[in-house]
Every structure is written in structure tokens, then in C-alpha cells.
Structure 1
Amino acid sequence: MTIQTPNKTLTLASGTRYAYFHYPGSKQTLLFLHGFPSTSHDWRFQIAYFRSRGYGIVAPDLLGYGGSSKPLNPEAYLGSIMSADIISILDHEGITGPVIGIAHDWGTYLLSQLACRYPSRFSKFVFLSEPYGPPGRAMDVHRINKTTKRQMGFEQFGYWLFFSEDGAGKTIGQNKESFLSLVYAENPSIWKTSFAPVDGMRQWLATGSHTHLAPYITEEDEEHHYKAFGNDYSGPVMWYKRGIRSLGSEEEKEMLATGEIKNGGRIGKETLMITGLKDVVCTSARARLTMKSNVETGKLKVVDLDAGHWIMLEKAEQTNSVLEKFIEEGVGVKSVL
């Protein structure tokens, strides 16, 4: 199978360059936002499926990834900046009507920012694995790790500490085969011991450990990944460097106080949350609690799939079916939370 790469590029007035897929369609446009450590290639099964059904597609390599710019300062990854960039891409392509935003992992942070800052540009929202991120919340990784160590037996966000260190991106790049095998592991439970805990990832890479890749990652997918990232993941880990410092949260608090962010930051449009029951980091339980607290009553649907973190790859057909039903029918009376 030939790996497709983004068919469009756009350099913004700021000098930032984005590579992205854009396919016009006869139906509404779907905006796909990938996570870490990925590119728009993560959405290959969804792009093919929905494009064949007449939907418009926009799927960028997000900032720090693939064919897009890779600034090395965390401040460049503020939600205010990146969300404005995405709107600029839509404007450039003449997409002025509301789109459906679909995001996975770190892409959900960006979709959350878009939902707060540009709600009129969206008709529906879909979050995969990681839930909506309410505005104005500071990230306390140490508190989370302490709590999850007590409740779950391991630090759920221990890897944040490693990814936020100077040189982490180069360390990953020097051990990319080991890294990729863990990120896309066939057995998702290995994340409990070797991915999530404090120093788990560091030790995995230092010892050159490997595990079986999940069957949905082909040799071509591996080659695409290595070509996209080379030997340096410094751009992608900037998302963690910004996140661990909660950069942008004070501005969001001010926007909430002035009413610039409406509805107290709660989502007022139909929203779908798809979780993976085998995901040990972005757990289904946490996603349900977060979404129920931050989406207006009657606007939320949650679907749990028997999958790990990479839902749209591992369960591509089911994901497409769930997405299509939500896109066409909304949350539905019987599934409202």
C-alpha cells in the first residue's frame, strides 16, 4: 500500500507552515486533529471512508509534526495560537460553514480550545481517548501521579516528566524503534509498567527494550513514521512542555471572567466521546466523568470500544460506524447522558 502524504501546504503570515489533507465534498466538512506521536496519517482509515461518502476532509499535520513547522519553544504551542492557525486553514480553503471537529489524544486539547474560542465554526464535536479539556485549568502532574499511584498502583502521567525534560525529543529519536514498539504495543497493558510510570519510559529506552507492534501498524506505517520524525521528536514533546507549565491557562481564566469564553467553558453542542476500555492512560472512567461535567445535559453521547489507546486504528470499522451514526443522527434520545 502506498502511503499518502498531505496534498496541501499553507504558510501563514506568521511564517508557520502547515501540511494538510484537504478534499472538498458534497457534504459537511470533517476536521481531523491527531495526537502524539503521530501525523495526519493516523486518520487514514477515516479519511478514506468518509471521503468516499461525500464528506469534505481537512486533516493537518499539527504543529511540531510531519510536514508542518516545528518550533522549539513551548509558547508557540499555546491554544490561542494553534486554534487560530486551524481557523486560518479553514478560511484559506473557503470553508466558512460549521464543520465537525474530530480529535484524538493531544488533538483533543486543540479541539477543546477551538470549541471555546470559535464555537460558531463547529456544529458537533468528537473526542477519542482523551476528553474535553475545560479552559482555565492548571495542570498538576505531581498531584495526579500521587493520586493515581495510590488508586491504580502506578503513576498515570509519569511519562509527562520525561517528555518535558530538555533533550527528551533527541533521546526518543535515538531509540525510535524501541519507542515506537512501546507506543503502538500489541498488548496495551504494558503501558502500566513501561510507559506511564515515572521513569518507565526512560528505562525502556535506555535498555533498548522492544515488544511486539500492534497488527494495525504495517511495515509501510513504520517507514512513514520514521520518515516523518527522523531522529528528533523535539517538536512533538513541546506539547508536553507547554502542558506541564499550564501555559495559556491564565489567559483562559480571564476570558471566562469576561465572558469571552461563553457558558462557563461548557460545550453546548452535540458531542461524542469514544473511549477505549483497554486504555490505561486515557481511561474510560475519567473520560466519562470529565465529559459529563463539561457538556450540557442532553448533548453528550459516550461509546466504549474494546480497544486500547489507538481506537481509530485498532477498531477502524467500528470507529467509522460510530462516527457516521453520530454525524448523521446526533446523540439520539436513548443515548443521552
Structure 2
Amino acid sequence: MPEFRTIDAGEVRIRCAIEGEGPLVVLVHGFPESWFSWRHQMGPIAEAGFTACAIDVRGYGGSDKPHPIEAYAMEHLTADVAGVARALQPDAPAILVGHDWGAPIVWNTALSRPEAIAAAAGLSVPFTGVPARPFTEVFDALFTQRNRFFYQAWFQKVGPPEAEAEADVRGFLRKFYYGICGDAPDGAWPQKAADATLLEGMIDPDPFPAWLTENELDYYVAEFRESGFRGPINRYRNHERDFEWLQAFKDRKLEMPTLLIGGDRDPAFNGFGRIADPAALMREHATDLRGAHVLAGCGHWTQQERPEEVNAILIPWLKSL
């Protein structure tokens, strides 16, 4: 097991799981996850000669959980990552790796603080530059106005999404994890009317795919029963704030080494349609992309579903820096 430390990141205290010695690699998870999402990467990263530091994003696990919605804006989350990196390695820039929401957190930490970040890798979500409009406008036009359900529109409601998730944490996580994993059949993430709730029509598989054992699920369940879901879901309620903050960086590109890994069955990777050329998309906004890897048959939970493949890409990239 890694060593756990609580780091004063400036605005909040962040729990970090730390393993190994050497240049710092900060691992940032997504929704609804934990530092534990990186359990298959920490040992190999440490063995490769690095310090692996997997954080609980604010609102999760052992990290602070401020109540206000605006406390979960991208401006604050990037400050947390930069604060952890500065506390653990004050004299040199850090390497960042993020998955799901962790990928935009990593990309935007690097975009807003390029002098503090040596390299950045994203799993599941490519870097597509500073947005031209808030994402709320995008999903409103594509989904809500067409009477189609979209989970991020559901998350804009304050209270009902938390209540639905917290009523049966294990059931919620099983259905959510399964619905967008590579083992799920088409339709496991159901199409429904805009006024539906998230769990309506979702599948609780029996058995669950082997990439997540019951003991591993137990860890997540215990974390969310303790922390609740308000902080994690608040991340989705800041699209307008994020848009406004990011406009200051709209003329920048990422100039440090970058890496992209995604799954061809991951709806977050493919956006609203399959990406024909992920490398070309990234290179419009990142000048030193050193690989864009698409894992066949892999769903959303990239480093958990395909740990060996991810490590076989990630470790050589780290060593090449």
C-alpha cells in the first residue's frame, strides 16, 4: 500500500497516496472515482524511478470538501494540483497524468501554469483548446432542446442527483461504471427523455466485468458513503465559470511533451462522434504530442480496464522525458 499524506495545497487540504522516489508524477482521477483508480499504475511508475502521487480531488475521499458550488470551478481544481506539486517538489516542474475529469484538470493546469509543468498526459479526454462557448450551451442544443437525456444536464439540478446516487451507493457505482465500460453492450447507456433521472434504464450486471473486483468496488463504496456526491457532482455545475476563466488563455498552446490514451468504446473519448484522427485533433492545440493511442474495445475506465496496455504506453513515455 502507498503512504498517505495530507498536503496543504493552498486553498484546501488534499489527500495523496504516494509511492516511490524520483521525479514527481501527479495522478488525477475523474468522476466518480478516487486515488484508487490509479492502483495499477502506482507501483510500475515507482519502479520506473519516479514518485507516484495519486490524489483525491477536492470533494472526494480524504480531501477537503467545501460546500459551495463555485469551489469546484476549474480555476480551483488546477490550483489544487499545482499546490500539491509545489509542496512535494518545489524546485522542479512536475509531470501530470489525468483521466476523465482529471484530464481537463491536468490539461488546464499545464495551460495556465506552463512553467510549473514538465509534461502532461490525458486518458479518455483529449485536449481541444480553450472552448468557444460554455459546454452547457452545447449539450442544451444537442440534447435538452431535442428532449434527449444527457447526464450533465441532470447534474445541473442541485439535490436530486445526489439523492439518487446516495440512496444506493453500490448500485449507483455498478450501473455507472458498467454503462460506459468496454464490456457493456450497445444500449447499456440508455437513450431516454430529457426529464428522466440518471439511473432510469441503467443495467446492474451479474456478474460485473473482471476488471473491477468486489473487493475493489468495496473500497469505492466506502469512500462515497463517507464523502457523499455533492462535491463530485458540483464539478459539472461550473461550465460557465470555467469558460470565463479559460478565456485568458485562448491564445496559448501546450508546448510541453504530451500524451493521449483513449478507448474506442469510450463515449468521453469519442465525444459526440468517433474521432477520426485523435493525434491531428490534439496537435492543433499541443505542439509536442508524443503519442495518441486508441485501445481497441476499451471503454471509459481506461487505466482500470486495460492496466497492462496503459502501463506499456505510459512508462516508456515517462522515461523518455
Scaled by the length of structure 2, what TM-score is found? 0.85
Structure 2 match to 1:334: none
Select 1:281's aligned residue among 259, 264, 268.
Answer: 268
Select 2:4's aligned residue among 2, 7, 20.
Answer: 7
Pairwise mapping of residues 163-242 of structure 1 onto structure 2 (< 5 A)? 163-167=155-159, 168-185=161-178, 188=182, 190=184, 193-195=187-189, 197=191, 202-203=196-197, 205-206=199-200, 209-212=203-206, 213-230=208-225, 232-242=228-238
Aligned to 2:84, the other structure's residue is in SS state helix
Select 2:243's aligned residue among 222, 232, 249.
Answer: 249
Structure 2 match to 1:335: none
Pairwise mapping of residues 56-71 of structure 1 onto structure 2 (< 5 A)? 56-71=51-66
Return structure 1 stretches of 4+ with deviation > 6 angstroms.
none
Select 1:159's aligned residue among 151, 157, 164.
Answer: 151
Structure-1 separation of matches of 2:69 and 2:191: 23
Structure-2 separation of matches of 1:159 and 1:191: 19
Structure-2 separation of matches of 1:147 and 1:207: 21
Deviation at 1:222, TM superposition (A): 1.3
Structure-2 separation of matches of 1:12 and 1:320: 28
Structure-2 separation of matches of 1:290 and 1:221: 35
Shift in CA distance, 193/160, structure 1 to aligned 2, threshold 3 Å: farther
Deviation at 1:308, TM superposition (A): 0.7
Aligned to 2:275, the other structure's residue is in SS state helix
Shift in CA distance, 201/118, structure 1 to aligned 2, threshold 3 Å: farther
| One-letter code aligned to 1:10 | I
CA RMSD, 1 decimal: 3.1
Structure 1 match to 2:313: 322
Deviation at 1:99, TM superposition (A): 2.0
Aligned to 1:247, the other structure's residue is in SS state helix
Deviation at 1:36, TM superposition (A): 0.4
Structure 2 match to 1:333: none
Deviation at 1:170, TM superposition (A): 2.1
Shift in CA distance, 197/317, structure 1 to aligned 2, threshold 3 Å: same
Select 1:78's aligned residue among 73, 78, 97.
Answer: 73
**For the Cα contact (< 8 Å) 2:143–2:150, is it kept in 1?**
no
Structure-1 separation of matches of 2:281 and 2:136: 17
Most deviating of 101-110 and 298-307: 298-307
Scaled by the length of structure 1, what TM-score is found? 0.81
| One-letter code aligned to 2:154 | F
Aligned to 1:42, the other structure's residue is in SS state helix
1:89 aligns with 2:80: no
When the two structures are aligned, how many residues end up with a matched partner? 312
Deviation at 1:140, TM superposition (A): 3.5
Most deviating of 206-215 and 99-108: 206-215
Aligned to 1:7, the other structure's residue is in SS state strand
Structure-1 separation of matches of 2:303 and 2:65: 25
Structure-1 separation of matches of 2:6 and 2:277: 34
**For the Cα contact (< 8 Å) 1:33–1:103, is it kept in 2?**
yes
Give a deviation string over 1:255-286, Cα, whole Å, max 9, x none: 23xxxx7xx22111221111101113321617
Structure-2 separation of matches of 1:188 and 1:145: 27
Shift in CA distance, 145/75, structure 1 to aligned 2, threshold 3 Å: closer
Percentage of pairs with the same residue: 21
Structure-2 separation of matches of 1:172 and 1:237: 10
**For the Cα contact (< 8 Å) 2:46–2:52, is it kept in 1?**
yes
Deviation at 1:96, TM superposition (A): 2.7
**For the Cα contact (< 8 Å) 1:273–1:301, is it kept in 2?**
yes
Higher relative contact order (CA 8 A, sep 6+): 2
Structure 1 match to 2:18: 22
Shift in CA distance, 178/97, structure 1 to aligned 2, threshold 3 Å: same
| One-letter code aligned to 1:46 | Q
Deviation at 1:207, TM superposition (A): 6.7
Structure-1 separation of matches of 2:177 and 2:27: 20
Structure-1 separation of matches of 2:91 and 2:225: 36
Structure-2 separation of matches of 1:79 and 1:203: 26
Give a deviation string over 1:155-176, Cα, whole Å, max 9, x none: 6x81111122111112111132
